[in-house]
Structure 1
Amino acid sequence: MDTGWQLFILFGLIRISRSYENLALHKKAWQRYPFHTTPWAADLAVDGRYTNLSASGEQCAISEAERFIAEWRVDLGKVFSIQSVKIRHRTENLPWDGASQYPSRFLGFSVYISNTTNKDDGTLCFKDTKFTVNTIPNPVNIPCRIDGRYVTFYNERFHPPYPIGYSTHAFADLCEVEVYGFRIPGFYGKSCSIPCPKNCHERYCDIVSGACRGCDVGYVGPKCDEPCSTGYYGYNCLDTCSINCGVPYRCNRVTGQCEGGCQLGWKGTTCDTACSTGYYGYNCQEKCSINCDVPGRCNRVTGRCDDGCQMGWKGTTCDAECEGTFGDNCSNPCGFCFGKEHCHPLNGTCMNGCDIGYKGQQCTQMCNNNTYGANCSLTCGNCRNLDEQCHHVTGECPRGCIPGFTGELCSVLKEGNPYLFPVIYASSAVLGVIFLLVIIIVVKRKLSCVRRHDQAPAYKPDKVYYNVGEDQACTYELEAAPESAHIYDLMN
């Protein structure tokens, strides 16, 4: 056979194999209220047999009588692109018309397509509101171009009154349920040969028109070929980019991640989370200062401490220690510390003492009380006004010296000073008085020793020692002398 014909036949077989298939055949089925005997189980509605539509034919799934809810479901095994659902109802092989009781049981039914066993999680594909016992077809073909895994037949009789012809109770007497669609997802068209648009969510699309069931994040439009407009992102472009983006409302159309990161004080992929307490700045990477008045509490944008700084610190973020100042917000100037050193940032004390001419813990007091120099340990000279303080650093007298003195410190006597001789005379007189007092004291002590000698025993040793008190001894040696010798001779 010609190779071209072989390819043509092969292509035709492929196209035929992709036509609509009954996806429900021999799949697992379930019924809410099955009839109490086994011949009418739920899976009989997907066994592919429908030649006998009566209970006795054992080809139908029949629900329990006198119930107000009827529900039957088939599990296709996975999500498929569904095109239509075909339902054959029980007839007992009688004519299907108003004279039969079975059309009334069928009226008002619904069909749901879902991806879970809960029909309400899915899509209502069809709801009968118009059929009558004379118009409802059997079988009934329902166009239902939806992607899903579970197909549910549902009917109820909970809210009377119902239209004329409706049965009193709900039934699910189903002889065959066929679900047609493509077994291979991602294609559409009559022969299932056209790929779904690339941005369709999970490549599912309407198997007839090719319209996407949903778009991948970041795209919109019937065929999902339109990217999200600026400022929007996510599924169906329903999410808005954050105003807190580095460039407000500019973000990735798929993830929502902000372009240029976040503005100061915000963090997260979409910049929708404010900085945690204790952090601030770009992506909240900076820590608030421990030197804040309330440690670790600051503005999440600027890092500025909420209640200012602790004593001894300054700056917007309280990260600079006081220099040349101290106290609250470093508002107090240091005193005159030794070597121009900085004082203690908390209490202002000079840690190595004061500079020349100053005193006190904070070295803010100038020398006074006629003192000057290092530690105010030097005495001022003879300044003109005796009550006038000399310069606290140099000791110089601000108005000069008193008459008779000269020098930078007024401590040098001038030559020919008219006050010199009176001073000498006064000094000599003082020295003379002191000398005279010393002589008198010595003489008194000697006389005291002689009196004690006269009161001593008759014998006269060569040397006699007298005590004149507890602190001093009378140690004068008296040589043997005539009794008639005068006391003053002894003193000589």
Structure 2
Amino acid sequence: MSTTLFIHLGFIVSSFAYENIALKKPAYQQYPYTGPGPANHLMEASNAVDGLKTNLSIWGGQCVLSDNDKQTATWWVNLTSILSIHHVTIYYRTEVYGWECRHGQYGEACENVCGQCIDQSECHHVNGTCLNGCRPGYKGNHCSQTCEFGFYGDQCTQECGNCHNQTNCRHTNGSCASGCDVGFHGDLCKTECESGTYGHQCEEKCGQCKDLSKCLNTNGLCLTGCQEGYHGDLCKTRTSPKADEPVRNGWQMGGYMTSVGLIMIILFTLVYIVILSLIRIFRRCTPASQQDMKRENLNSAIKQKDSTEHAYTNRSYVELSDCRNGPEIENHETSADV
């Protein structure tokens, strides 16, 4: 005969669990969220003690959310009795920001705004320095200082142009808000007027300067003088014909009179010389008929004078007969001696 032994092992299990003593208890929040959203009840203080923790997103309706732009966030729960608390568990929202400040903010409690960082990049979340430098027109570690008077652009290293009445240009791009000063044009007012133009926006045209490149770009003054027929500082006034006609006629008349005078003097001189020459020739060479009459008169006079006077008269006859040929004069002298 067989005997079967059944042994039953029994275990006494002791279980220990903690009770959520804050569940469904009254809760309070100092600054509840009042911003835009589906409904404010989704962020009420009671959500923190409702026992739900399956959806911890901002609009999940299971978390409490404090208001924006507050330095402190206060929340408490009333346990309604004196209890012994073993531990406190807090479930945070899943969309919380990190320890750093938001984009564009820095400093303690992220209360400072970043400066004019280049390309709107972030500044350092602690000290606010721009990590990639400043935008054009700004300088300094925080890029919060504008360029000094007369400068603009990247790192404020470029000089402004010739703005109207020496006003300052825009510190970002160098353009002149009031336009250009006289003698210059362009977006930056750094380009002088082209040759032959001057004045505001280079709209004025130079006058009749001898050299258009010497026309002053600010006021149109001709530095090398005017072309013929024009006068004045700008060489835009034509010279009046009546104004210089007496002078020109005077010079012409004076030159004409001088020329006529010289010609008359030359003519008188030539006439005088010719007359003198004719007189000499007339005296030295008389016609033959007159010479014959003189000879007859002299011959009759020779017969009446004595021999001593005959020689003297004969010599006079010889002088009047110089125009005769030599042999003939010698014959007269011989006959006179006989």
What TM-score results when the alignment is normalised by the length of structure 2? 0.37
Higher relative strand content: 1
Which has the larger Rg? 2
Structure with a larger share of its residues in helix: 2
Q: TM-score, normalised by structure 1?
A: 0.27
